[in-house]
Amino acid sequence: MRGKELIDFLVSEGFNVFPDANFMPDVDESQLPALFVFGSGGSESDNDLPIEFPSFQVIVKGKNYKTDPLQMDSTEQLAISLIKFLDKKKHYEIGNNLVYFSKAMQSNPIPIGLDTLDRPVFSTNFRFKLQSF
């Protein structure tokens, strides 16, 4: 599964996702909060069945925390909603892939801290079990 396929799927589900995978530029404050998708490899494919196990890191970035202290909590809530959305999700399609199962690798997002423009950043990570068409 390609990062762009995951991006398109998340956008179709109502998430604001940066359109390019594996890239997190400094975006304008008006474009936040946003998700940034990075492929993180995954594990080896199945030896006997056409099943793959890709994994992705999704960074969640909020608006400036120093001008609005509520941004830390709202960004964390967005990351938690993403985890709840993808964790233990079964039998759906992403791009040209049949996803048997997706799993969050953490039950809560990992706080990264503030970026250079004082915006909160959280990391979420997911594993997928899928068959490519």
Conformation bin of residue 21: beta by default, left when phi > 0, alpha when psi is -120 to 50: beta
In this structure, what DSSP letter does residue 133 have? -
The predicted model scores a pTM of: 0.94
Give me the tens of pLDDT residue by residue for the chain, a chain 133 residues long: 999 999 999 999 999 999 999 999 989 999 999 999 999 998 888 888 889 999 999 999 999 999 999 999 999 999 999 999 999 999 999 998 999 999 999 999 999 999 999 999 999 999 999 996 6
Domains of the chain plus CATH, in order, are 3-132 (3.30.2000.30)
Identify which of 35, 76, 78, 91 has the alpha carbon closest to the alpha carbon of residue 59: 35
